């Protein structure tokens, strides 16, 4: 589904940390009903960009247009309570959001964590943490999902399930902005791609127009080479 309606618009974003320019005129439009991948080398500024979109960075220049009340997010590694189990982690959020307990069961089922019972998050594997972070982002059925490296640590079954979940979500009119280093998975999942390099969007648009099948990695390496 795509009606070219923007769900997120970043215009001319800039931010520096301790004199180091991280974003420098970064612009990107994420369209409704699309899975949009934000890619870039380590330290390129992807998480920073996510934080700006969420309104968590007051030092940034430029503008962001997004309906923040419609966003579910997992940014900068899962923010989870290690001494609580999965259900109680989610309950912290449902209480804050005024959601019913049934919503906890729904998202646990969606991410495949229904059977974790009393197990505390501190003894979760990386993939289980990623699943729980995704569950937090899904609470309340947001119309926009912002997911920072959600595939981290997922097993093949989890990766396939995430792919299907994101596609179903976008097909139903939801919007997904996802950051990832796993270009093979991006090639299978994304409709659009933005390559963040040197603080700017070196490319932003349809994935098909960016790279033919099988050439995403080489195109990415070409575009982000340090010259
Ligand atoms: N709060 C901060 N204070 C100082 N420097 C910061 C802060 N946040 C980010 N940076 C710096 O900004 C740059 C971009 O960081 P960011 O985490 O956005 O990159 P990224 O593209 O998400 O990287 P990765 O792919 O490695 O996760 C890095 O050099 C980082 O050290």
The interface predicted TM-score (ipTM) is 0.97
From 18, 21, 47, mutation site for ligand 1 pocket: most ligand atoms within 8 A of C-beta: 47
End of a domain among 91, 114, 142?
Answer: 142
Q: Are residues 154 and 57 in the same domain?
A: yes
Q: Is 191 in a helix, a strand, or coil?
A: coil
- pLDDT higher than threshold 90 for residue 88: yes
Q: Are residues 96 and 107 in the same domain?
A: yes
Name the percent of the chain in helix, strand, coil, to the closest 5.
40, 30, 35
Looking at residue 71, its pLDDT comes to 95
Q: Are residues 222 and 170 in the same domain?
A: yes
Ligand 1 contact via 199 beta carbon (within 6 Å): no
Q: Which domain holds residue 6?
A: 1-67+144-227
Q: Are residues 57 and 84 in the same domain?
A: no
d(CA 13, CA 199): 9
**How does pLDDT run across 10-22, given as a tens digit for each residue?**
999 999 999 999 9
Q: Is 29 in a helix, a strand, or coil?
A: strand
Q: Are residues 120 and 150 in the same domain?
A: no
Neighbours of 95 (CB within 10 A): 10
Q: Are residues 148 and 225 in the same domain?
A: yes
Closest protein CA for atom 8 of ligand 1 = 48
Question: Can you tell me which atom of ligand 1 is nearest the CA of 51?
Answer: 18
Q: Are residues 91 and 50 in the same domain?
A: no
d(CA 89, CA 97): 13
Q: Which residues of 8-24 are buried (b: 16+ CB within 10 A; e: fewer)?
A: bebeebbbeeeeeebbb
Question: What's the mean pLDDT in 104-125?
Answer: 90
Q: Helices 126-138 and 102-111 meet at what angle, rounded to 10?
A: 130
Q: Are residues 203 and 171 in the same domain?
A: yes
d(CA 50, CA 74): 9
- pLDDT higher than threshold 70 for residue 2: no
The structure tokens 């390099």 sit at 197
d(CA 149, CA 183): 11
CA of 43 to the centre of ligand 1 (A): 5
| Tokens of residue 177, six digits | 């902005």
Residue 216 belongs to domain with CATH number:
3.40.50.300
Q: Are residues 152 and 212 in the same domain?
A: yes
CB-based burial label for 79 (10 Å; 0-12, 13-18, 19+):
exposed
CA of 53 to the centre of ligand 1 (A): 15
Kindly state the helix (H) or strand (E) to which residue 65 belongs, with its residue range: strand 61-66
End of a domain among 87, 115, 142?
Answer: 142
| Per-residue confidence band for 152, with pLDDT thresholds at 50, 70 and 90 | confident
End of a domain among 124, 142, 160?
Answer: 142
Q: Are residues 19 and 61 in the same domain?
A: yes
- Total domains in the chain come to 2
Q: Are residues 103 and 125 in the same domain?
A: yes
Q: Are residues 185 and 202 in the same domain?
A: yes
């Amino acid at each position: 589904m795509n009606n070219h309606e923007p769900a997120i618009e970043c215009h001319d974003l800039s931010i520096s940390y301790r004199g180091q320019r991280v974003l420098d005129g970064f612009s990107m439009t994420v369209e409704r009903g699309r899975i949009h991948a934000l890619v870039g080398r380590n330290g390129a500024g992807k998480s920073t960009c996510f934080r700006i979109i969420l309104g968590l960075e007051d030092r940034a220049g430029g503008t962001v247009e997004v309906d923040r009340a419609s966003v579910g997010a997992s940014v900068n590694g899962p923010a989870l309570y290690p001494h609580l189990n999965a259900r109680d982690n989610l309950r912290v959020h449902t209480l804050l959001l005024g959601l019913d307990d049934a919503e906890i069961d729904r998202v646990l089922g969606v991410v495949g964590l229904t059977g974790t019972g009393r197990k505390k998050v501190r003894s979760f594997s990386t993939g289980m943490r990623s699943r729980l972070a995704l569950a937090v982002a899904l609470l309340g059925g947001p119309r926009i999902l912002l997911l920072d490296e959600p595939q981290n640590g997922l097993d093949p079954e989890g990766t396939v399930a995430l792919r299907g979940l994101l596609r179903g979500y976008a097909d139903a009119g939801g919007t997904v902005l996802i950051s990832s280093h796993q270009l093979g998975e991006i090639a299978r999942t994304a409709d659009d791609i933005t390559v963040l390099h040197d603080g700017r969007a070196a490319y932003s648009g349809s994935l098909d127009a960016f790279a033919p099948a099988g050439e995403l990695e080489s195109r990415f390496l070409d575009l982000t080479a340090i010259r």
